[in-house]
Amino acid sequence: GQQVMQIPQYQHVQEGEDFTTYCNSSTTLSNIQWYKQRPGGHPVFLIQLVKSGEVKKQKRLTFQFGEAKKNSSLHITATQTTDVGTYFCAARSSGNTGKLIFGQGTTLQVKP
Amino acid sequence: ETGVTQTPRHLVMGMTNKKSLKCEQHLGHNAMYWYKQSAKKPLELMFVYNFKEQTENNSVPSRFSPECPNSSHLFLHLHTLQPEDSALYLCASSQDLLYTDTQYFGPGTRLTVL
């Protein structure tokens, strides 16, 4: 079945450093969504990418969808302690309208 | 956020108990989901309902029994669970099952099976 691989699993950074998490699929994706889960919390939707090569920004967060629509990345510039949490990508294969497959998540720790 | 609520927030049960988890969404959505989140594992989709009809059962053991009486409410009935079923159970909803629909999660029920 479809799998969405996300790396790295964990990342520890010093406050102010940049952070990137990557999401890869062996199949072409209809779209990709990114969610953030704070410690002790629940996943919260961040953004959705639909178009090939699409880039979207939310303040210090930059989201990118690959040209082949098989990979995506989330980059955080100058991390802050409020960025701590687990970031999940989630996607559906082309033509699949039901099942949203989540990546394993990248847990970000930020040292002040 | 109070769009999707779940009760109880914490539950401890023995393997012979029967309990139910409740989820309610106040967003006017048509699709609802149950997910299981275990430590160091990705979110596992369990069940999907659309307009009260089950559209997906992701090979979930029969000791988990979902119920969706209407588009706003979703239950997960539990009986004779195993310790490995201990996890965070998350409910989510989306407008429909379109690929562009985003999911709104509830706070989850932290389940411990003794």
pLDDT tens digit sequence for A14-53: 999 999 999 999 888 889 999 999 999 999 999 999 999 9
Residue of B nearest to A95 (CA): B99
How close is the nearest chain B Cα to the Cα of A35, in Å? 9
How close is the nearest chain B Cα to the Cα of A15, in Å? 24
Q: What are the beta bridge partners of residue B89?
A: B36, B109
pLDDT at B42 over 90: no
Distance CA A110, CA B87 (A): 26
pLDDT at B96 over 60: yes
CB contact set of B62 (below 8 Å; sequence gap of 6+): none
Q: List the one residue out of B16, B56, B5, B49 whose CA is nearest residue B31.
A: B49
pLDDT at B1 over 60: no
Distance CA B74, CA B43 (A): 18
List the domain boundaries for chain A. Answer: 4-111
Contact A98 B103 (CB under 8 A): no
- A4-111: CATH number: 2.60.40.10
Distance CA B83, CA B104 (A): 28
Which CA distances in Å does B60 have to B57, B63, B72, B92?
A: 6, 8, 22, 17
A31, A42, A102 member nearest B99 (Cβ): A31
pLDDT at A95 over 80: no
pLDDT at A92 over 90: no
Assess contact for B75 and B82: CB atoms under 8 A: no
Q: Which residue is associated with the tokens 């691989």?
A: A5
Contact A42 B56 (CB under 8 A): no
